[in-house]
């Protein structure tokens, strides 16, 4: 899926993002996927086949199941959060398989069985004159500001795909490889990232203070299929 288009579409949904409730807590978000009540489905123009997202419940746990087959769509959490106060994100995920045609360096291979997006809000009052003109034009065309930038934490397809990479579509997004290849497929694995540290490494500057989170399994470029899972996702203080 073209990442620049994805960023615009995320910002153009009719329901606006809502701030997290102002409560004294070390945790901004703890989603265990008992329901998807706090998530919105995101679909894309010109992509007829959509990935599916559903909750699976067992006697002992709940988890998200994401499936794609020559398809693309995502789900987005409806609340924003303060990345300065809550910079740490944890989750547990699993994929059944990766894509043989996947290649993070090429647009044709820009599919992943699972990725977690951190999308940063554009703030006009903190932007340079050039950015104000660029984003102002985007708002005229699309009816809303696109996100300022994004970090894409991915389960990459090839074992040699490691590190941080620019998106093949836009310089406003970075692909951060957490897992790669088939080594850990079929296994639940835990992740813990620090948004502030990763943004500085990726863009060489401080991030915007406000962000939102999304999850996607897409295969519209490669035409392949995958099933993936998320057991929980948590956004918290750096304690």
CB atoms within 10 A of CB 183: 9
Per-residue pLDDT tens for 110-156?
999 999 999 998 565 565 565 655 654 555 545 554 566 899 999 99
pLDDT band for position 7 (cuts 50, 70, 90):
very low
Contact 150, 171 (CB under 8 A): no
Give φ, ψ of 159 to 5 degrees. Answer: -60, -30
pLDDT band for position 4 (cuts 50, 70, 90):
very low
Across 25-43, average pLDDT? 93
Give φ, ψ of 154 to 5 degrees. Answer: -120, 155
Class of domain 3-236 as given by CATH: mainly beta
Per-residue pLDDT tens for 81-108?
999 999 999 999 999 999 999 999 999 9
Per-residue pLDDT tens for 157-179?
999 999 999 998 888 899 999 99
Per-residue pLDDT tens for 179-208?
999 999 999 999 999 999 999 999 999 999
Across 49-60, average pLDDT? 94
- Alpha helix ranges (H) inside 89-165: 129-142
Q: What is the pTM of this model?
A: 0.85
State the Cα angle at 170 between 164 and 173, rounded to 5°: 40
pLDDT of 9 reads 46
DSSP run (H or E) holding 180: strand 173-180
What gap in Å lies between CA 181 and CA 161, rounded to an integer? 8
Q: Where are the domains of the chain?
A: 3-236
What gap in Å lies between CA 158 and CA 122, rounded to an integer? 33
């Amino acid at each position: 899926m073209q990442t620049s288009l994805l960023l615009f579409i995320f910002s153009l949904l009719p329901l606006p993002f809502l701030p997290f409730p102002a409560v004294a807590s070390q945790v901004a978000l703890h989603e265990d996927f008992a329901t998807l009540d706090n998530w919105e489905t995101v679909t894309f123009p010109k992509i007829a086949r959509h990935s599916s997202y559903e909750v699976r419940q067992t006697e002992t746990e709940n988890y998200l199941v994401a499936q794609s087959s020559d398809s693309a769509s995502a789900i987005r959490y409806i609340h924003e959060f303060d990345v300065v106060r809550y910079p740490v994100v944890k989750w547990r995920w699993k994929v059944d398989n990766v894509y043989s045609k996947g290649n993070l360096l090429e647009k044709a291979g820009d599919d992943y069985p699972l990725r977690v997006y951190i999308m940063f809000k554009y703030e006009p009052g903190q932007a340079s004159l050039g950015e104000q003109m660029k984003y102002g034009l985007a708002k005229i065309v699309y009816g809303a500001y696109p996100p300022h930038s994004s970090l894409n934490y991915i389960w990459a397809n090839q074992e040699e795909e490691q590190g941080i990479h620019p998106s093949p579509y836009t310089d406003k997004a970075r692909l951060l490889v957490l897992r790669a290849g088939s080594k850990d497929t079929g296994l639940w694995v835990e992740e813990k990232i620090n948004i502030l540290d990763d943004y500085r490494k990726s863009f060489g500057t401080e991030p915007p203070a406000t962000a939102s989170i999304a999850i996607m399994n897409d295969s519209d470029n490669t035409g392949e299929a995958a099933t993936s899972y998320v057991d929980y996702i948590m956004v918290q203080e750096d304690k």
